[in-house]
Amino acid sequence: MADRRPELEEREMPRAKRPRVDDRDPASNPYLAHMYENNGNGNGGYNGVARTGLSDFKRHETTAAQAHTAEDGPNNPFNNTPLSKQYFNILKTRRDLPVHKQRQEFLDMFHKTQILVFVGETGSGKTTQIPQFVLFDDLPHFNGKLVACTQPRRVAAMSVAQRVANEMDVKLGEEIGYSIRFEDVTGPKTVLKYMTDGMLLREAMHDHNLARYSCIILDEAHERTLATDILMGLLKEVALRRPDLKIVIMSATLDAQKFQRYFNDAPLLAVPGRTHPVEIFYTPEPERDYVEAALRTVLQIHATEPEGDILLFLTGEEEIEDACRKISLEADEMIREADAGPLKVYPLYGTLPPQQQQRIFEPAPPPSRPGGPPGRKVIVGTNIAETSLTIDGIVYVVDPGFSKQKVYNPRIRVESLLVSPISKASAQQRAGRAGRTRPGKCFRLYTEAAFKKELIEQTYPEILRSNLANTVLELKKLGIDDLTLMRALEELNYLACLDDDGNLTQLGKLASEFPLDPALAVMLISSPEFYCSNEILSLTALLSVPQVFVRPASAKKRADQMKDLFKHEDGDHLTMLNVYHAFKGAEAQADPKRWCHEHFLSLRALQSADNVRQQLKRIMEKSEIDLLSTDFNDKEYYTNIRRALVAGFFMQVAKKDGSGKTYKTVKDDQSVLLHPSTVLAVDSEWVVYNEFVLTTKNYVRTVSSVKPEWLLDIAPNYYDLTTFKKGDVRTALERTLDRVKRKQSTKRSK
């Protein structure tokens, strides 16, 4: 990343002058010996290392007992300052954690092997303790390197880093830091860095050998995020080039054998967790209506089970709000008629404002009279409650077995959200939520046979775990054109990011610098040609964040009126740009919170767009892409912006079909309607769209009107009329071409 550069150079330069370090035999290493002797005299040593409890540690030869002694103080082995009372208090609890018993076993394995798989169930302490075990043995600061520990989520990276900083009695951002998008809390002293997996992946783009790191710990590998999967593929190759790099793959589930196999039978260490047993119940017969069955189960738990809160998993906002209403109603009746305890119901989903999300942590209501039936809280949530948010006090989990998942249909090239059965791994994760504080129960609203036979093991497809190039080749050899992959390659080829041989082009290289979808990146990179890169920069940021328009069910009309204030008749893109410009205006900036509220706009989304814009701007400056604007009074101001849209989204164009309201997509001839939220009038003949949504009907959303001659002019390869498939679109474009030619010839003859 651009803003990371200076620090990288500072780290790299002195190292280049140093003698080569043989990591496997530090005792025989003249450089390390030199460090041990010079007690922090400033001769290349790290901050008083030699004076601390680590000075006689031999890298990759340490023992648990040695680390134990160093941890006992009295001074902090990493900065030689006296350790606090709080430190010793935490130390005691840390030594009770299950992983602690196997510290020596871990070290033995860590010494012997380059790659190691570590399985620790929830509550084992793996995320906080293993990186510290590594730190005391890998001693990254002796080599001017770092230990990295990746997390799939930003909040986890931040909160775990804070926790470990407390455990090690250091200030966050010094010896222990974290790095997430838009936030780098690390410094020159940092030895252990928690970071998001995506962040490490970005760094790897510029540092192919991950040279800054002496050890990389991939945590929560079982979650199989795209970034973790790609990192695993990458690390497998980096390991060959860098025999000195240690790698630890950490996972929560026992099918970690898959990871072992992937890393050439890497050794595995498993540590039990500290969770309470969860009893699983299945329904004897399949349920026809899972929402109805879920409500029944929740109410039955409330009526018959002892004290303890309930967590119900449903699939989306509407379903959850509806269920909350029904549960509250039924519970009131139970209280009146059957002397049931009070029941509080809380919804929980991602788009819920943070304050409302926080309400789930309110304590359960007390019994309505002393000695009466227990009060309870019920949380009805999406799978955000599966991994992202942990709620203590949950004793009962109700799992209907469904979640909304992104499904890509390569045939019609549409991505949509579908309610689908969850995987076994998810089901286990959900059940585990019942046993965090005491033994719990999980009610699965499907049969045991269905769990065993119908649920897939893991949610992510195998393809993400394989070397893609190889997979493509194999698929081709087998005569199978994997549609998803082939279409992706084809699109990148049309966007001129890949050449006809599948190699990365200059444009492709540049596009990969941006944390954006390729079409957005290409639009942004091309925008100076249309004299509007400042505006496209804003628009790109806006298109990369959640919806800026807020439309609460209680005030739809007023929200729409406010939106009309920003309306631009040429489409939603320009309307969004108007919003952004107004938001950056003096009036709005005086009190952004109030202004957004009054105008039914999401402050969070706009601030986030601002953040993204700044980041993209830095990358543009670094890549020397000009930032320019057409004069606002020029009549081409808005036209230029719409033309720039076509440079990235020429494949997402729809043409009006006959005289009605339907449109046909250029790409696949799909019938679509303009989404009702659009500001565009239906008389636009050609539109460019940002998104295809499949709900009750096929819609294109965030649309702007464009002219057919722009398509021919800006994307001639895609709209090559000699090869373009026959049909309505081609006929219309041919007519356009004739008209343009006629105009040119009449001009010439004049």
Partner DNA sequence: GAGCACTGC
Q: Does 439 bind DNA (CB under 7 A)?
A: no
Q: Does 690 bind DNA (CB under 7 A)?
A: no
Buried b (16+ CB within 10 A) or exposed e, 371-394: eebbbbbbbbbbbebbbebebebb
Least Å distance, CB 173 to DNA, is: 16
Nearer to DNA, 438 or 556 (CB): 556
Number of residues that bind DNA (CB under 7 A): 50
Nearer to DNA, 234 or 721 (CB): 234
Q: Does 423 bind DNA (CB under 7 A)?
A: no
Omega within 30 of 0 (cis) for the link into 74: yes
Q: By the 8 A CB rule, do 415 and 405 touch?
A: no
Q: Which residue has the tokens 């304590």?
A: 363
Stretch that binds DNA, among 196-204, 489-497, 499-507, 617-625 (CB under 7 A): 196-204
DSSP three-state, residue 399: strand
Q: Does 604 bind DNA (CB under 7 A)?
A: no
Q: How many CB atoms lie within 10 A of CB 326?
A: 17
Q: By the 8 A CB rule, do 641 and 577 touch?
A: yes
Least Å distance, CB 577 to DNA, is: 17
Least Å distance, CB 512 to DNA, is: 10
Nearest to 146 by CA among 225, 222, 245: 245
Stretch that binds DNA, among 185-193, 379-387, 594-602, 651-659 (CB under 7 A): 379-387
Q: Does 675 bind DNA (CB under 7 A)?
A: yes
Stretch that binds DNA, among 63-71, 399-407, 645-653, 719-727 (CB under 7 A): 399-407
Least Å distance, CB 363 to DNA, is: 23
Of 153, 276, 296, 465, the one binding DNA by CB under 7 A: 153
Q: Are strands 192-196 and 183-185 parallel, antiparallel or unpaired?
A: unpaired
129: tokens are: 């303790």
Q: Does 553 bind DNA (CB under 7 A)?
A: yes
Q: Does 350 bind DNA (CB under 7 A)?
A: yes
Q: Does 602 bind DNA (CB under 7 A)?
A: no
Nearer to DNA, 318 or 362 (CB): 318
Nearer to DNA, 76 or 665 (CB): 665
Helices assigned H by DSSP within 565-719: 572-583, 586-590, 592-598, 603-622, 637-649, 708-714
Stretch that binds DNA, among 13-21, 100-108, 221-229, 365-373 (CB under 7 A): 221-229
Helices assigned H by DSSP within 51-114: 64-71, 85-94, 98-101, 103-112
Residues 6+ apart with CB under 8 A from 136: 54, 57, 62, 66, 67, 70, 71, 77
Element (H, E) at 672: strand 671-674
Of 586, 676, 683, 722, the one binding DNA by CB under 7 A: 676
Q: Does 569 bind DNA (CB under 7 A)?
A: no
Stretch that binds DNA, among 199-207, 333-341, 440-448, 472-480 (CB under 7 A): 199-207
- Among positions 642-671, residues that touch DNA (CB under 7 A) are none
Q: By the 8 A CB rule, do 412 and 346 touch?
A: no
Q: Does 502 bind DNA (CB under 7 A)?
A: no
Q: Are strands 653-656 and 663-665 parallel, antiparallel or unpaired?
A: antiparallel
Least Å distance, CB 263 to DNA, is: 23
Stretch that binds DNA, among 28-36, 195-203, 425-433, 623-631 (CB under 7 A): 195-203
Q: Does 617 bind DNA (CB under 7 A)?
A: no
Label each residue of 625-641 as H, E or C: CCCCCCCCCCCCHHHHH
583: tokens are: 């938001």
Of 272, 515, 528, 592, the one binding DNA by CB under 7 A: 515
Of 147, 168, 180, 620, the one binding DNA by CB under 7 A: 180
Of 202, 568, 664, 667, the one binding DNA by CB under 7 A: 202
Least Å distance, CB 117 to DNA, is: 23
198: tokens are: 């995506």
Of 68, 100, 154, 487, the one binding DNA by CB under 7 A: 154
Nearer to DNA, 618 or 735 (CB): 618
Nearer to DNA, 388 or 437 (CB): 388
Q: Does 727 bind DNA (CB under 7 A)?
A: no
Q: Does 316 bind DNA (CB under 7 A)?
A: yes
Element (H, E) at 204: helix 197-206
Q: How far apart are CA 439 and CA 277, in angstroms?
A: 5
Q: Does 564 bind DNA (CB under 7 A)?
A: no
Q: By the 8 A CB rule, do 677 and 703 touch?
A: no
Q: How far apart are CA 390 and CA 433, in angstroms?
A: 8
Query: Helix 533-543 crosses helix 572-583 at what angle (to 10 degrees)?
Result: 100
Side chain identity, residue 692 = F
Q: Does 6 bind DNA (CB under 7 A)?
A: no
Q: Does 429 bind DNA (CB under 7 A)?
A: no
In whole angstroms, how far apart are CA 581 and each of 576, 578, 680? 9, 5, 20
Q: Does 567 bind DNA (CB under 7 A)?
A: no
- Among positions 533-552, residues that touch DNA (CB under 7 A) are 544, 546-547, 551
Q: How far apart are CA 82 and CA 80, in angstroms?
A: 7
DSSP three-state, residue 747: helix
Stretch that binds DNA, among 31-39, 64-72, 599-607, 689-697 (CB under 7 A): 689-697
Q: By the 8 A CB rule, do 625 and 575 touch?
A: no
Chain residues binding DNA by CB under 7 A are 1, 152-155, 180-181, 196-199, 201-202, 225-227, 315-318, 349-351, 382-384, 388, 403-406, 417, 515-516, 544, 546-547, 551, 553, 556, 560, 675-677, 693, 695-697, 699, 701
